[in-house]
Structures are given as structure tokens and as C-alpha cells.
């Protein structure tokens, strides 16, 4: 899954794709580089970000969604507002990616359920418990799995079909670097929830801290793409359905190699060595479809 942030203040690329024409071209470029799905967002969720008003988010997002969808691109919309989700789906979006898991706007679940659209349920204690820094865990893997399970049950009770749900552990959201690494080391526990797994590690702070070492300074966000590709390959090998990234080409290549190695290990074959990627843009979106993964990145 490739990222198009139509924002002036996202943590790694704020302002680069703020113009509609530029944003649409960037989304098309991401598809050329290997993205199966393009995630369009108009509101930053970086630490300290303030929410934009509804009219401004609609102004940023809808023309980009419409422009990409009209070119046959499979589009997801990254929003916490039901109105933005509804308008985006009407404009051609195929999936709703809500970092609050439907908690920010009570109308979100009914809108998605009525549309029959796939829905990403992300773990974020900022909305589960209130406050953006509630990152104290005794056992981060168990607690995130349990809290995601409870949120998924609520989403299902709201009318979204089980085969439309995708789960995301919310790396970097109310979590420290050690928490993020522990979750990546136990993706099997998250997959055991029984829903396609989205991993969004792109350029995040925990990668900067790993690269810095105990004494160094973290590199800037845009210098973390090699680390992102490494994590994405590991996630693909662990069975993630999609990875969300800013820089698609290197990650798509890394994921292809990881899948080829895994295929050779499990079946004695090497899928992907003749140029295959996941479902082409415009293909009906089906979370959990056998063998399909996208390439995806950070808000």
C-alpha cells in the first residue's frame, strides 16, 4: 500500500503532495512502482498534530480519490470521519482505513457497514482509553491482541462483515520502540485473530531509534526507507496481507524476494520470480485473498 498524504504537516512528507494534481500524479507513480493499493489521507496523526475541520479534509481528499479511482487505481481512504469515508467511497475508494478503529466518529461503522466496504481496525489507545501517550503495557503483545479482538467484536456487532475486516497493530501509536519491535516479533499472534493483517512501519520513530543505536541521533524520516523495506519484508514473510509505505519501489522488491524465499521454503517453488505482483489496480478489493499483498507507509 503506497501513501499519498494530502497534508501540509505529515511527519515525513508534509506539503509534498498538497496540490491535487501533484497528489494524483504521485499516486499513479506509486502504482507504477508496484503499489496494489494507494492510501489517501488529508489529516496528519503525527504527535502534536491538530485536527483539521471536516470541510478542509473533504477539500483535500475527495478530488484525489476521484482522480486516482478514475484511472483504475484501487484507493483506500485514511480518515476518522464518517462523512469523508462516505464521500470517498462514492468517489471510487475501495477501502476505509481509520486509525481510531471507528471510535472517533460513531457514524463510521454504520457508514462502512452500509457500503459493504473493507475496514481497517487499528489499535490506538489514544482512542481506546483517551490520550495520545497512554503507552504503558505489562505485556504489549497480549494487551494489543486482546484490545484489538475486543474492538473487532464491536465492529462486527455494528454490522461490518467478518470478511471485510483488516487489523493493524498501530505501530508507533501510544507505543515505544520496544513495544513496536515486540509486536513485529509476534505477528503470528496478530494473525491468529483471523483477519488480514496490515503492517504500517514506514519511516516511524522506532526505526530511527534502532538505526541511531544507543548513543546516536535518529536519522531523518526520509532516510529510513531501507529500514522500512527490511521490516516490510519480514512482515510479508510472517504472513502480513499488506504493508503501508511511503517509498514503494524498494519495498515492493523486498516483499517480492521475501515471498519468493517463503514460497521456496514451503512449496519448493519460487513465486514472484517472473514479475508477478499482487492484484492489479482496479481489481475488486478482497482482503485475505489467497496470495495477494500490497505495498503500503506512515501518517
H or E, element range at 39 = strand 38-41
> Does residue 244 have an active-site annotation?
yes
- Within 13 Å of residue 29, how many CA atoms lie on the same side as its CB? 11
The Cα–Cα gap between 19 and 240 comes to 32
How far apart are alpha carbons 205 and 39 in whole angstroms?
Answer: 20
Taking the C-alpha atoms of residue 17 and residue 73, their distance in angstroms, rounded to an integer, is 17
Selecting among 66, 244, 259, 299, the annotated active-site residue is 244
> Are the beta carbons of 35 and 294 closer than 8 angstroms?
yes
**Maximum distance among all Cα pairs of the chain, rounded to whole angstroms:** 53
Q: CB count, 10 Å around CB of 26? A: 21
The DSSP code for 127 is I
Per-residue burial over 260-289, b if 16 or more Cβ lie within 10 Å, else e, is bebbeeeeeeeebeeeebbbebeeebebbe
| Catalytic residue check, 175 | no
Is 180 in contact with 204 (CB distance < 8 Å)?
A: yes
Give the whole-angstrom CA distance, residue 65 versus residue 41. Answer: 9
Is 68 within 8 Å of 38 (Cβ atoms)? Answer: yes
* Set 87, 204, 209, 293: catalytic member: 204
17, 3 contact by CB (below 8 A): no
Task: Identify whether the C-beta of residue 228 lies closer than 8 Å to the C-beta of residue 202.
Answer: yes
Residues with a catalytic annotation lie at 204, 244
Amino acid at each position: 500500500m503506497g501513501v499519498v498524504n494530502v497534508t501540509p504537516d505529515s511527519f515525513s512528507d508534509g506539503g509534498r503532495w498538497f496540490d491535487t494534481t501533484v497528489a494524483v500524479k504521485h499516486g499513479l507513480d506509486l502504482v507504477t512502482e508496484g503499489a496494489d493499493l494507494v492510501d489517501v489521507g488529508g489529516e496528519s496523526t503525527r504527535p502534536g498534530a491538530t485536527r483539521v475541520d471536516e470541510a478542509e479534509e473533504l477539500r483535500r481528499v475527495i478530488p484525489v480519490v476521484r482522480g486516482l479511482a478514475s484511472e483504475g487505481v484501487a484507493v483506500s481512504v485514511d480518515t476518522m470521519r464518517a462523512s469523508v469515508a462516505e464521500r470517498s467511497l462514492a468517489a471510487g475508494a475501495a477501502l476505509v482505513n481509520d486509525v481510531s478503529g471507528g471510535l472517533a466518529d460513531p457514524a463510521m461503522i454504520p457508514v462502512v457497514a452500509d457500503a459493504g466496504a473493507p475496514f481497517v481496525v487499528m489499535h490506538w489507545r489514544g482512542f481506546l482509553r483517551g490520550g495520545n501517550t497512554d503507552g504503558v503495557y505489562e505485556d504489549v503483545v497480549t494487551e494489543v491482541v486482546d484490545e484489538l479482538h475486543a474492538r473487532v467484536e464491536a465492529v462486527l456487532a455494528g454490522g461490518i462483515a467478518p470478511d471485510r475486516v483488516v487489523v493493524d497493530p498501530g505501530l508507533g501509536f501510544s507505543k515505544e520502540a520496544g513495544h513496536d519491535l515486540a509486536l513485529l516479533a509476534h505477528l503470528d499472534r496478530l494473525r491468529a485473530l483471523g483477519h488480514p493483517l496490515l503492517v504500517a512501519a514506514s519511516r516511524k520513530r522506532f526505526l530511527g531509534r534502532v538505526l541511531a543505536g544507543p548513543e546516536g541521533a535518529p536519522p531523518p524520516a526520509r532516510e529510513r526507507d531501507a529500514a522500512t523495506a527490511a521490516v516490510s519484508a519480514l512482515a510479508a514473510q510472517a504472513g502480513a496481507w499488506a504493508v503501508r509505505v511511503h517509498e514503494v519501489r524498494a519495498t515492493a522488491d523486498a516483499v517480492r524476494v521475501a515471498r519468493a524465499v517463503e514460497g521456496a521454503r514451503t512449496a519448493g517453488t519460487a513465486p514472484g520470480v517472473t514479475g508477478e505482483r499482487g492484484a492489479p489496480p482496479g481489481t475488486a478489493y478482497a482482503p485475505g485473498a489467497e496470495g495477494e499483498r500490497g505495498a503500503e507507509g506512515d501518517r
